[in-house]
Chain A
């Protein structure tokens, strides 16, 4: 019995040491991986995207799909990076500024709206798309034609998102459910507990055009905000002009149009033609 105590302490120490090294190993492994690709086939570029937004930035095994991904690949190509030199990095909304500031990514294409508050910490190129907040409703529901019909309706959006805040500010008569993700919202929309899901139109179109959801929902098509999706760059980056040139070229070549159409197929979605394709803002 007596010897079990020191043994236990030793075991705990060993476990703690293992956990610590596991952490350290994970970190240095990640960086090492980045460096080895950089050394192996010339430079690589680390691009931050969303992994969970079908139609925009989506990871399916080793495949990355979506409009953000297509634009990122085009821009990276124009900057001189082949597709296998792109290192995709997941960048959730809350981490985007920090990932740029801490040099974890070189660029971010992740439905990243250009705002003044964000411009204080990061630089933006673009916009490469102007989205607008819109509503997704069940295919057979015609009672909601726009935000003015939301009074007394149940509405779902994502906790902490711009769209959720806008509904709270402008349409206090609507009952808002805030869920961790849009997939949760679609479940509630399908079962009828909420009448509409709200966020940017192209995100809604992406959600509605996945295989599982095709034919169940429709985008209302009456946008009530302007979200200018920009390319997030570290503060003081010298890439802004090159990225803008690439976006302009992509639009002129028609690859932009093709990317939008391909990624929203089956959602019965028309992007706002008054605002799109956008002209990139001059770099500061």
Chain B
């Protein structure tokens, strides 16, 4: 086992973890504010991958070819439209059922996820879609004889940088803005917050929108990184991101990122040095172990559960 391979596996794990973390944010924020898992979140991510590809086609068709401008434009458009989907999910699946039993919105969210999957399948086809490579190149650190090297592609660097920036921005919003204060107040006690003049409906909508925006960032980056997607990509990664959120302590923003990175690293190192067949078994084993030893996850606050 040489150092280059270990370093490469760590990079693989970090990139995977950053993606899990970005998507996990959506689960953790919705849970934080409503105490519910948004099972349509994986599909929001899937929709964002399609939106990114559609905007790419539209913008290049309109004659925009300079990569940095193109990327920023696609990013903004994708965030905007994906956020719209996130907002609609809350309006359709959650708000009408706000006073129903806890099970009802959970099930309506699963319904929404099926609707989104099939809506994309019917409108875009069940086939694999590919997009051209927009960002080329990589950094390499090679050994003296050049036989072994560690590399990180520019897309992978972009993924990690954007993940850190995105999480930082979100953490800043939650801590220092009035919107963040309103979110935290709603999280602590929705009825009390409402009595004190906070429009909690508005706050909840905003949380869905922010979660969807982060999923949109992930959708665009992942599409750039892997070059292909289909209508079913939301399922597996949704489960993984949900796991990451639970691992880090559901309801905690830094926890989601930490959980993502831990999950990514576990998968990558186990796959690289033990066995790929059982990497998911190992990852979920870790999850069970953490939940047994520390039921609230790495960074979660132990509190009396409402479930």
Physical interaction between A and B: no
Interface residues of B (CB under 8 A from A): none
Interface residues of A (CB under 8 A from B): none
